[in-house]
Structure formats: C-alpha cells, structure tokens
Structure 1
Amino acid sequence: MIEIRYGSQVCGELTSAASREWLVPDGLGGYAMGTVGGLRTRRYHGLLVVPGETPASRKVGLVSLDPAVLLPSGARVRLGAHEWVSGDVDPRGFELLERFDLTDGLPRWGWRIGDVVIERELAMLPGRSCVAVVHRLVSGGPVELELAAACTWRDTHGERRGDGPPLRMDPVDGGAVIEEAYRLSGPGWSPQGHWWRGVYHREEAARGLHPEEDLWYAGQFRDTLHRPGDTLSVLAWATDLEQEPPPGPQVVASARQRNRQVVAAARPADAVEATLALAADAFVVRTATGPDVVAGYPWFGAWSRDTMISYEGLFLRTGRADLGRELLRSYAATLSEGMLANTADTGRVEYNTVDGTLWFLHAVSRHVTVTGDTDLGDDLLPALRAVIDAHVAGTRYGIAVDPTDGLLACGAPGAALTWMDARVYGVPVTPRHGKPVEVNALWVNGVAGVAELAELAGQDAEGLHRLHERAVEAFRKRFPTPAGWLHDVVDAPAPAYPLGGATHHDDDLLRPNQLLAWSLPFAPMEPDAEALGHLGAGLLTPLGPRSLSPDCPGFLGRHRGGPAERDTAYHQGTVWPWLIGPYADAVRRAGLPVDDLFTGLEAHLSEYGLGSVSETADGTAPHTATGCPFQAWSVAELLRVRR
C-alpha cells in the first residue's frame, strides 16, 4: 500500500491537519471518522457512528476521547482538539503531534511531550458496531493518562443541544451505558455528566449548514502508564452486540490482519492498487437484507445507480464475485415495471432513475463475462428480458423507446432522471428530458448484453439483435455534432420561446456523458481519437473530467457555498473522478496511451479522504476536492481501469 504519513509540519498546522480525514468502517454502514489533527470539523465525525435499519440512518454515539497527560512534575497537558463558536480552538493537542500515519487502513497518532511519547491506535471490530481506542506509552514515563469521553446520541445529519434533556447514563462495571444505545468500557472510570456547549464544525459552516452542537461530557477513564509498552484501552459498542468485545489491542490486531487479507484477495499489481482495494472494502457492507453498497461516507446511503456503476470495481476487481452474485440477485428482486428500485437515503424505495436499471443490465453482463458464471445469467435472464420489453412498451416518467428511431426517450415534469439529477428548491438544474446520450449508449449496450446472455442460454435473440441494430443506426445518425463531439441530448424540449417555433432541439453542450458512447463493451460508436481530443481539451483535469466545459454557457468552476449554490454547480463544471473510468476506456479503445491519466488521482489518495477518492472537485484550478471525502464509484472506477 502507498505510504500515508505526516510529520509535525502537517499535523501541527491547523488547516493542514483538519483538511485531511480518515475513515474506519465497521462493515455494516457505521464507522469511526475524523481528521489527522483530531479536530472535529463535521457533524458526522465521531469514534462510534452506528448504522440503523439502512446504511444512511446512522447515529453518532461516542464523539471523542480527549487525552490529557499528567506528568511527574504535576503539569497536565491536554492532547485533544475542539473548535468553539467563540472562534477559539481549545485545546490544541495537534500542536504536540509529531506524526500521523495510516497503516493497513488504521490511523495512528504520536504525541510528544518532552521525552514522553504517547501513541494512539484506533480500529473497529469487523462486522460489529464496536470501536477500540488504544493508547500506548512509547517512551518516557511513568505518567498518568486521562481520557475525557464526549458523547451524544443523535442522527448524523442533525445536532443535539444542551437545552434539551441530558443524556441517560446507566452505570455498569467499568463504565456506563449511554441512552440504552451504546456502552463505554475502560479502566478508572469516573462519571461526570454535564454539557460542553458551543462546539463548532467549520466544514458544516462552509457548506451553509448549521455548524453548532453541544456535547455531553459523560466522564473520564484514567490509568497510570509506568513503562514503555503499557496501554490504556477504551471500548465503545452498540448494546445490541451479543457478546462483550475482546480487549482493545486484540481488536486492533484482528482489524489489521483482516485488512491485509482484503488486500491480498484483490491480488493488487502495485501499492496504489492495494490502497484502492482496501478503500473499496469500506463501501461493501452487510445489511439485514444482504450485501449492499454505501455510495459515500459520511452522509450517503445505498443508491442503485451508484451501486451498479461501482459493481465491477468493488466486486469483480477485489475477489468478491460470490458476494456480488448475491447482491445482483437481491437487486433483481426489486424490479418493477422494468425499473430497478432506487433506495433513497430517507429509507423510501423509489423508482426514479432512467439509467440505474441500464447500469444493472451492464453489471450483470460484466459479471457473467468476467467470471463465466452463466448460471447467474440464466437465472436472471427472464427478468432482464422483461426490462427490455418494459422499456420498449413504455414505463414510468415517459421512459420508452421511440418507435420512429429505436432510441430511448425519457422525461416528465419536474423529474431529473439521469445521474445529473441535482435540484435547487425542487427544480432540476439539468433536467435533460428527451434522449440523453449516455442513456442511449447504455440502452444499446444493455440490449446487446442481454442478447449475448440469451444466446449463452440457448435462447432466440433475433428480436434483441434487431432492436440493437436499429438503435445503433439511429445513434450514429442523430448524436454527432458539426463541432466534432456528440450531442448531450437530442429531441430535448425547446426553450420557452424557440426561434422558428420548433418544439424540440438538440443540446450540443460539451459534457462527459458522451464518453459512454465509446467506452462501454457494446458501445454504439467506433473509437474516435479526434472527438476524444475535443473532450480531453475541454473537460479533463488532474482529478478526472469536468461535468461541463469552461467554454460553455452556465459553467461554474467552484463547487462551494450553501446547498443551493453547491447543487447549482454540481453538474455545471464540477469535476467527477468516477468519470475517469469511461474516459480511460474510450481512450484505450482509440489506441491512445492512458498511463498518465491517473497521476493526479493517485496523488489525491493522500490529500483529502486518506487512502480514498473524493466524490467531486472544483472545476477550476487547483481543483480542490469537495463533496464526500470517500466515494464508492470514484474508488471503484479508478481501481477498475488502472489495469
């Protein structure tokens, strides 16, 4: 794996230390998450964040364990870090950090106070909502170590205030049970019980969201570390855990061993691929209904489009084909009227994407092609053929094959059905009604993939081939523009007052969606180096393609501000690292070199979400990362195309 290690010049400088985040998942959708410097910059940060019925319905429990060292001289040195609404940052323990590293996916800190060095390691018990925080005396001593437990119990998207009821604390041996939801356990427990008021989250303020909360000081753990090697461990776990967890050092050791096995199973070709394989592991979770994919940490749950785009990278590139098979069967069971369910982060099951189902066809096809698992193809084939039939006949939101040309149209008032689905005050920013280019590339690809599966099963595929050939012919006729690239949407509704009274127009804005017309296995277009040259010149950045060329009207180069500002820019110039996958595939098919495409993204692995790839980045230099620091399809697509 790549080395992620920082010294005091990064750890001890507030902005640098607070802008780099680490993540330790529990395999269920919960996690521990924070920054290199220990400062909580998001409402989502905490040491024990517990998943609910869905990966998105998480709750924050143990927020922080703030260390304080009591030296033989009587001096008390605080090593935690909090920012307050007053503007103060107090304490400033990051100024005593001499190192931080991420090894085997687990964070480790080292504080130096003169000749005393205290090390902290953190891990979650794989497959269980349990965190272990282990402190070790590395040199010096003896010293006394205190750990102040700051707690809450709330939804990750909200905050809890001190003007409400205090947290319930039930005493147990060696600690306390908080809100009947999670337990704290460690040596020298001394209960306290009062509010720390006015904690400030700078990243929430930057995102235009409420940045303040109050924390409940539940109590402190305390022990003396006499000689190097002595440890003080604290465990926190959800009370529904059937068995008490093993000691903290054992939790860390077992998590480290598991992560090494995850990397080995992926058979990585180099250190970058090993890092991405472990990053991919964070998104594959077990829920009550089976395996699923978390779209991004810390705020996303499971989304069918993200899951299917990520499928090959997360499952087939990492040795998880058997688990992937189970996931595909589970998702197939949600099909209705030819559409795949899209589980919103609210927990509602909705059918509101035009492309999610087509990506599902692609995922099944790739699974069978890569693994040779024709049994799965045979089993799912009736459902896949029903998807094709439903799209030909027409289904929700005006999704239907146009009988005049065989292309797939979509659109309904107020709907945003493609992956460019941002809304501002309920109004789609890029509705893209009509015949979007990537939707039709996916349609062509999906029909061909199902035809191949039918032939493997010994079934008649003549009708599917005719459908495919007609769509390819229409695609090649309708989508090319005089400028040398492809239309983003054809037959789009005309503006309110079109010249000449036309009711439809073809949108020729330079966007990356057309990449799928060259990148997919059954792509409708032949490789075209000249067209890709236009796309590279207008869209490519070190972190992947922009969603709109800077030369186009409406381009926004900064993905910043409150929700409305960010959503307005979301698909109007913002960089999306996941698009490096289609871009690299298209470039390869055109016979052009791809090795230098990944340099910026590989460097990015140590810049933002450590060891992972962000959701988005600014469209203008220096292309600062934005959105979720840890995003499934960004990791999956980079992992998929690097080979």
Structure 2
Amino acid sequence: MIDIRFGPQVCGELSASSTREWLVTDGRGGYAMGTVAGLRTRRYHGLLVVAGETPAARKVGLVSLDPAVTLPSGRQARLGAHEWSSGVVDPRGFELLERFDLTEGVPRWRWRIGDVVIEREIAMAYGRSCVAVVHRLISGGPVRLDLAAACTWRDAHGERRADGPAPRLEQVAGGAVVDGAFRLAGPDWTPEGQWWLGVRHREEAARGLHPDEDLWYAGRFSGALDEPGAEVSVLAWADDLAEEPPPATALVEAARRRHRAVVAAAKPDDDVDATLALAADAFVVRTATGPDVVAGYPWFGAWSRDTMTSYEGLFLRTNRGEEGRDLLRAYAATLSEGMLANTADTGRVEHNTVDATLWFLHAVSRHVAVTGDTDLGAELLPALHGVVAAHVAGTRYGIRVDPADGLLTQGGPPDVALTWMDARVYGVPVTPRTGKPVEVNALWVNGLAGLAELTELTGRDATELRDRHARAVAAFRERFPTPAGWLHDVVDAPAPAYPLGGAPHHDDDLLRPNQLLAWSLPYAPLEPDEVTLRRVTEALFTPLGPRSLAPDSPGFVGRHRGGPAERDSGYHQGTVWPWLVGPFVDAYRRAGLPTDDLLVGLEGHLTEYGLGSVSETADGLAPHAATGCPFQAWSVAELLRVR
C-alpha cells in the first residue's frame, strides 16, 4: 500500500491537518472517523458511530477520548483538540504531534512532549459495533494518562444540546453504559457528568448547516505508563453490551490481519491498487439481508445507482464475486414494474431512478463475463427480461421505449430528477433532463446487447432483443451527434418555452460528460472518435476527473461551496466527479489513445482529503479542491477498475 505519513509541518498546521480525514469501518455501515489533527470538523466525526437497521440510520455515540499526560514534573500536556463556538481552538494537542500515519488501514498518532513519546492507534472490530483505542508509551516516562470521554447519543445528521435531557449514565464494571445504547470500558473509570457547551464543527459551518452542538463529559479513564511498551486502552461498543469484546490491542492486530487478507485476495498490481482495494472494502457491508454497499462516508447509505455503477470495481476487481453474487440476487428481489429500488436513505423505499436498473443489467452482464457464473445469469434471466418488457410497455415516471425510434425516454412530474444528475433546489430539479438522455440510452443499448448475449448463453432465442438493439443503435447514431462535434446531452427534451408535456421539443447540446458512456461501455453504440475525445478532454478533463459541465456553458458553477441550495445548484453544473474517470479512460482506450497520464492526479489525491480513498466531488476550477463525501464508493471503484 502507498505510504501515508505526515510529519510535524502537516500535523501541527491546522489548515493542513484538519482537512485530511481518516476512516475505519465495522463492516456494518458504522465507523470511526476524524482528522489528522484530532479536531472534529464535522457533526459526523466520532470514535463510535453506529449503523442502525440500514447503513444510513447511524447514531453517534463516543465522540472523543481526549488524552492528558501528567509528566514527572507535575506539568500536564493536553493532547486533544476542540473548536468552540467562539472560534477558539483549545486544547491544541496537534501542535505536539510529530507524526501521523495510516498503515494497513490503522490510523496512528505520535505525540512528543520533551523526551516522552506517546502513540495512539484506533481500529474497529469487523462485524461488530465496537472500537478499540490503544495508547502506548514509546519513550520516556513514567507518566500518567487521563482520557476524557466526551459522549452523545443522537442521529448522525443532527445535534444534541444541553437544553434537553442529559445522557443517562449507568455505572458498570470497568466503565459505564451511556443512554442504554453503548458501553465504555477501560482502566480506573471516574464518572464526571457535565456538559461541554458550544463545540463547533467548521465543515458544517462551511456547508451552511448548524455548526454547534453540546457534548456530555461522561467521565475519564486513567492509567500509568511507567515504561516504554506500557499501554492504556479503551473499548466502546454498542451491541451485546453484556459481552465484553477481546482486548483492544488484539482488536487492532486483528484489523491489520484482516486488511492484509483483503488486499492479498484482490491480487493488486502495485501499491496504489492495494490502497484502493482496501478503500473498496470500507464500502462493502453486510446487513440483515446480506451484502450491500455504502455509497459514501460519512452521510450516505445504500443507493442502487451507486451500487451498480461501483459493482465491477468493488466486487469483480477485488475478487469478491461470491459476495457480489449474493448482492445481485438481493437487488433483483427489489425489482418492481421493471425498476430497481433506489434507496431507503429517505426513510422509505423509492423506485425513482431511470438508470439504476440499466446499471444493474450491466452489472449482471459483467459478473457473468468475468466470473463465468452462468448459473446466476440463468437464475436472473426471467427478471432481466421482465425489465426490458416493463420498459417497452412503459413504467413509472414516463419511462418507456419510444415506439418511433426504439430509444428510451423518461420524464414524470416536474419535481422529479431521474438520472444521476438528480440535484433539486427547493423541490425543483437543477438538471431535469426530461426526454432521452445520452447516457441512459447508451446504457439501454448496452443492456439490450448484454442481455441478448446472456440469453444465447442459456440456449434461448434472442432474436427480438437483437432486433431491438439494432434499432436503438441506428437511432442513437442518427439522433445524438451534434453539429458542434460532440453528442447531445438530451434529445427530445421539452422546449424551454413549454411546460412538461408541451408539444415542441428541442435537443440539448450542452457539453457534459454523460456522452462518455456512448463510447466506453462494452456494447457502446458508438466507436470513439479521436478528434471528438480530444475536444471533450479540453473542455471537461481535470486532474481529478471530468467536470459535469464545460466552463464556457451557461450556468457553469466553478466552486462547489456554500449552503445546501448553493451547493446543490452547482452539484452537476461544473463540479468535478471522479467516478467519471472510469468511462473517460475506457473511451480513450477504445480509441487507441494513451491513458498513462489520466490517473496521476487521482492517485496523488489518495493522500489529500479522505486518506487512502477518493472524494465524491471537487471544484470545477483549479486547484480542484475536494468537496462532498471524503470517501465515495463509485469514485474508488471506477479508479480501481480502470487502472
């Protein structure tokens, strides 16, 4: 794996160390997450964040363990870090950090106070909501270490404040149970019980959200570090409260062993591949219904579009085909009227996407092609044929095959956005894309061909599918090229002067990256043209992947910043999306163009934001600062897939 290590000039500089985030996960959708500095900059940061019935229904429990070292002289050094509503950062333990590293997926801090060096490591138990925090004396001593446990129990998307009830604290052997929800265990527990008022999260302030919360100082653990090698460890867990986990040191070592095994199973070609294989592991979770995919940390749960787009990178590229098989079968069971369920993050299961089901067709086709698992193909074949039949007949939101040309059209109520460009502001889609979007029809063409091949593999006749495919390809090649030299983003869109359903239509020729799928998919409708690709590259490509809109287009937004409405307005209007580097590289390869320099920026990005991972988005203008989720499934998956 690549070497992720920072010295005092990064660790001690808050602007650098507070924007680099680490993540460890529990295999269920829960996690521990924070910054190199130790400063909590998001409401989502914490040492024990617990997944609920779905990966998105998370609760924050143990927020921080703030170390304070009492030296032989009696002087105390505080190693934690908090920012307060006044803007003051106190304590400033990061100024004593001499090194941070992320080794085999385990974050490690090293503080120096004169000749005293103390190390901290954090890991989670796989398959259990449990975090282990180990402190070890490396040199110097003897010293005493106190660990102040700041707690809450709240929805990960919200805050808890002192004007409500304080968390309930139940004393148990070796520690306490907080709000009946999670347990703390460690040496020499002393209960405290007081509010820390006005803890500020600077990233939430920058995102236009409420930045402050109050934390409950539940108590402290204490232990002596008499000689190098001595340890003080704390465990926190939220399941089977009566069953104490293995020792913290053993959990850290178990995490390392498992991470090494995950990487070895992926058979990486180099250190970057190894890093991405471990990053991919964070997104593959096991729920009560089987394997699933977390779309991004810290705030996303499972989204079928992201899952299916990520499928090949997360499962096939990492040799997790057996888990992938179970996932595809589970998702097939969600099909309704030929549509895959989109997400339950909103609190209810929704079937409100035009492309997730087409990505599902692609995922099944790729699974069979890569693994040779024709048994799964045969098992799912009736459901896949049902998808095509439902789209031909017409399904929700006006999704149907146009009998005039065989292309797929979509467009339901005016408040619905069905493609991956689905941002809405005050209920109004920013990029509605009603009509026949280019990537949707590329996926439709690709899906028909893949299903025809799968049908023939099982010995069945695929003539009708082949005819539909040929007709859609011919219509695609006729309708989507523009006089400007690239592809229309949408054809047969409602004219701007007419409401949805008005008679006149127009073809949208804004230069967007969606057209890449028309050249990149295995059964893409077009062969890539070098001149066109170079033109698209000049307008859209950045070191972190393609922009979602060319800078000279009306409505271009170069900075993905501000409050929710401002950010959503720019989400697909120029913001860079790293996942699109996958189809970009595929199109280049199909055109016979060199690709060696297309991934350099993203490989460098692995140490810039979400450490060892790839961000959701980035600014469309230089220096292309990362935005959105620091750890995003399809960004990791597509980079891994095309390396």
User: Structure 1 residue 242: deviation in Å?
Assistant: 6.8
CA separation of 1:162/1:585 partners in 2, compared to 1, >3 Å: closer, same or farther? Answer: same
What does 1:208-223 correspond to in 2, within 5 Å? 208-223=208-223
After TM superposition, the structure 1 = structure 2 runs for residues 278-357 of structure 1, keeping only pairs within 5 Å, are 278-357=278-357
Corresponding residue of 1:436: 437
Cα separation, 2, equivalents of 1:346 and 1:593: 42
* Cα distance between partner residues in 2 of 1:561 and 1:345: 23
Compute the displacement of 1:241 (Å): 5.4
1:56-71 to structure 2, matched below 5 A, reads 56-71=56-71
Q: Provide Cα deviations, 1:192-245, integer angstroms capped at 9, x if missing partner.
A: 001000000000000000000000000000011110000000000014357321
1:153 positional shift: 0.1
Deviations along 1:361-413, whole A, 9 cap, x unmatched? 00000000000000000000000001001101100000000000000000012
Question: Given the superposition, is the C-alpha separation of residues 475 and 163 from structure 1 closer, same or farther in structure 2, using an over 3 Å criterion?
Answer: same
**1:554 maps to which residue?**
555
Paired letter, 2:327: L
**Contact 1:511-1:546 within 8 A present in 2 as well:** yes
Match of 1:533 in 2: 534
The answer as to whether partners of 1:56 and 1:346 remain within 8 angstroms in 2 is no
Q: Distance in 1 between matches of 2:244 and 2:319?
A: 31
Residue number in structure 2 paired with 1:158 = 158
Partners of 1:129 and 1:241 within 8 A in 2: no
The answer to whether the 8 A contact 2:547-2:620 is kept is yes
Find the aligned partners of 1:543 and 1:158 in 2 and give their Cα distance.
31
Give 1:420's aligned residue: 421
Counterpart of 1:90 in structure 2 is: 90
Aligned counterpart, 2:120: 120
One-letter identity of the residue aligned with 2:466: H
CA distance, structure 2, for counterparts of residue 351 and residue 240 of structure 1: 35
Q: Distance in 1 between matches of 2:239 and 2:294?
A: 23
| Secondary structure, aligned partner of 2:433 | coil
* Alignment match, 2:198: 198
Q: Which residue of 2 aligns with 1:471?
A: 472
Deviations 1:424-455 (A, max 9, x none): 00000000000000000000000111100100
2: distance between equivalents of 1:6 and 1:344?
39
Contact 1:85–1:198, Cα closer than 8 Å, also in 2? yes
The answer on whether the counterparts of 1:578 and 1:633 sit within 8 Å (CA) in structure 2 is: yes
Report the AA paired with residue 15 of structure 1: S
Structure 1 residues 461-480: Cα deviation after superposition (integer angstroms, max 9, x where no partner): 00000000000000000000
CA distance in 1, matches of 2:174, 2:444: 60
Q: Which amino acid aligns with 1:347?
A: G
Q: How far apart are the structure 2 equivalents of 1:457 and 1:347?
A: 39
Residue aligning to 1:588: 589
1:49 counterpart SS class: strand
Residue 454 in 1 paired to residue 455 in 2?
yes
Alignment of 1:27-426 (within 5 A): 27-240=27-240, 243-413=243-413, 414-426=415-427
Alignment partner of 1:491 is 2:492: yes
- Give the C-alpha shift of residue 346 in structure 1: 2.5
Contact 1:527 1:589 in 2 (8 A): yes
SS at match of 1:23: strand
User: TM-score, normalising length from structure 1?
Assistant: 0.99
Q: Contact 1:194 / 1:218 at 8 angstroms: preserved in 2?
A: yes
* Aligned-partner residue type, residue 562 of structure 2: G
Q: Which residue of 1 aligns with 2:608?
A: 607
- The amino acid of 1:440's aligned partner reads N
Q: Render the CA deviation track for 1:337-375: whole Å, top value 9, x for unaligned.
A: 000011231231101000000000000000000000000
Paired AA for residue 158 in structure 1: G
Code of the residue aligned with 2:32 in structure 1: it is A
Measured against aligned partners, the alpha-carbon deviations of 1:46-87 in whole angstroms (never above 9, x if no partner) come to 000000000000000000000000011010110000000011
SS of residue paired to 1:349: coil
The CA RMSD measured in Å over matched residues stands at 0.9
Q: 2:446 — aligned with what? A: 445
Distance 1:559 1:182 in 2: 37
d(CA) in 2 for partners of 1:335, 1:343: 12
Contact residue 128 and residue 241 of structure 1 kept, 8 A: no
Sort the Cα spacing of 1:496 and 1:66 in 2 relative to 1 into closer, same or farther, 3 A.
Answer: same
Give the letter aligned to residue 518 of structure 1: W
Give distance in 1, aligned partners of 2:448 and 2:280. 29
Q: Is the 8 A contact 1:180 1:239 kept in 2?
A: no
Q: Deviations for 1:68-122, whole angstroms, at most 9, x for unmatched residues?
A: 0001101011000000001110000000000000000110000000000000000
Instruction: Tell me, in whole angstroms, the C-alpha distance in 1 between the residues paired with 2:439 and 2:344.
Output: 22
Cα distance, 1:551 vs structure 2: 1.2
Shift of 1:415: 1.3
Query: Is the alpha carbon distance of 1:241 and 1:368 closer, same or farther for their aligned partners in structure 2, counting shifts above 3 Å?
Result: farther
- Give the letter aligned to residue 529 of structure 2: D
Figure out how many residues of one structure are paired with residues of the other and give that number: 640
Who is 1:16 aligned against? Answer: 16
String of CA shifts for 1:497-532, please: whole Å, max 9, x gaps: 69xx97100000000000000000000001211111
Distance 1:94 1:436, change over 3 A: same
The separation in 1 between residues aligned to 2:121 and 2:416, in whole angstroms, is 47
Amino acid paired to 1:550: P
The answer (yes or no) to whether the contact 1:21–1:609 under 8 Å persists in 2 is yes
**1:44, CA displacement in angstroms?**
0.1
Counterpart Cα distance in 1 of 2:496 and 2:632: 35
- State how far apart, in whole Å, the 2-side matches of 1:536 and 1:128 are: 45
Secondary structure at the aligned position of 2:597 is classed as: helix
Q: Is the 8 A contact 2:498 2:504 kept in 1?
A: no
Shift of 1:172: 0.4
SS in 2 for 1:623: coil
What runs of 5+ residues in structure 2 fail to find an aligned partner? none
How far apart, in 1, do the equivalents of 2:339 and 2:140 lie?
64
CA contact (8 A) 2:437 2:491 kept: yes
Q: Secondary structure at the match of 1:233?
A: strand
Contact 1:7/1:100 (<8 A) preserved: yes
The whole-number CA distance in structure 2 between the counterparts of 1:23 and 1:447 is 39
Q: For the Cα contact (< 8 Å) 2:160–2:213, is it kept in 1? A: yes
Residue 49 and residue 566 in structure 1: after superposition, are their counterparts in 2 closer, same or farther (change >3 A)? same
Unaligned runs of 5+ in 1: none
Contact 2:128 2:239 (8 Å CA) reproduced:
no
Equivalent pair of 1:430/1:571 in contact (CA under 8 Å): yes
- Quote the Cα distance in structure 1 between the aligned partners of 2:342 and 2:404: 30
Equivalent pair of 2:183/2:241 in contact (CA under 8 Å):
no
